[in-house]
Amino acid sequence: MIFANVQVLLFLLFTLVILVLAVWALVDALRRPASAFVAAGKQTKQIWSIILGIATAVAFFSVPPPLGLGAFPTFLALLSAVAAIVYLVDVRPAVAPHSRRRGGGGGQGPTRGGW
């Protein structure tokens, strides 16, 4: 009996981690400029936004009943995790150098002179 409760809690935690991962990837993709995706040679921002938006929705509807609906089967949540991980591991590092802001660094830069 106790193992069943632990299993339910682990499953809930697992699906919540997938949801957080998908939301993180979606927010990151939406914050990047569209030109960064093209410059990095990846799919466009619009395509990644659609993929990650669908992945986030599927992950949301896959959360089991204590906190969610549990409307979708678990393997669809796993596909959401795959989409988010592909973005975070492959696309995000590739577009990051192309999406840095120029000029408004806030630092004063290197100084000249001694003390």
pLDDT tens for the 115 residues of the chain, in order: 777 789 888 989 999 999 999 999 999 999 999 999 999 999 999 999 999 999 999 999 999 887 878 888 888 999 999 999 999 999 999 999 988 765 444 445 455 555 6
Burial of 80 (0-12, 13-18, 19+ CB in 10 A): buried
Does the pTM surpass 0.85? The reply is no
**Residue 42: which of 11, 100, 109, 88 has the closest Cα?**
88
**CA-angle at 71, arms to 66 and 74, nearest 5°:** 85
C-alpha to C-alpha distance for 15 and 77, rounded to whole angstroms: 7
- The residue written with tokens 């696309």 in the block is 91
